[in-house]
Amino acid sequence: MAIYILALLPQAQAPQLHWSDKVSHLLAFMVLALLLRKGFGISYLKSVLLLIFYGGLIEVSQYFTPDRSAEWADIGADTVGILIGLTLYRYLRRLL
């Protein structure tokens, strides 16, 4: 929920980071993927589909939010983050 709220804050109120917003998308969805798999044990495929849907929901919401914009590239960054997070989960699970 925190990611959704941060994604809809007006630009002036949003935290100012020193990297691209695509990096923020990637990192946020990487963490979400790890937490979803670890916390709820949802399958790999369901995790991918749920999180891509969530990323799409954020972009649709941003389309209707003043001072925000929806971008396909954000969903791409979300997807890369999801795949990295799920791969990292598999690796950590084997390691531990």
pLDDT per position as a tens digit, 30-58: 999 999 999 998 999 999 999 999 999 99
Would you say residue 12 has pLDDT above 80?
Answer: no
- Establish if 16 belongs to a structural domain: no
The whole-number pLDDT of residue 14 equals 61
Q: Which domain holds residue 59?
A: 21-95
- Establish if 84 belongs to a structural domain: yes
The residue among 60 and 13 whose pLDDT is bigger is: 60
Confidence of residue 13 (pLDDT cuts 50, 70, 90): low
User: Which SS3 state, helix, strand or coil, does residue 92 take?
Assistant: helix
70 C-beta neighbours (distance < 10 Å), count: 15
Instruction: State the total domains in the chain.
Output: 1
Tokens representing 66? 């003043």
The whole-number pLDDT of residue 89 equals 96
- Establish if 15 belongs to a structural domain: no
38 C-beta neighbours (distance < 10 Å), count: 12
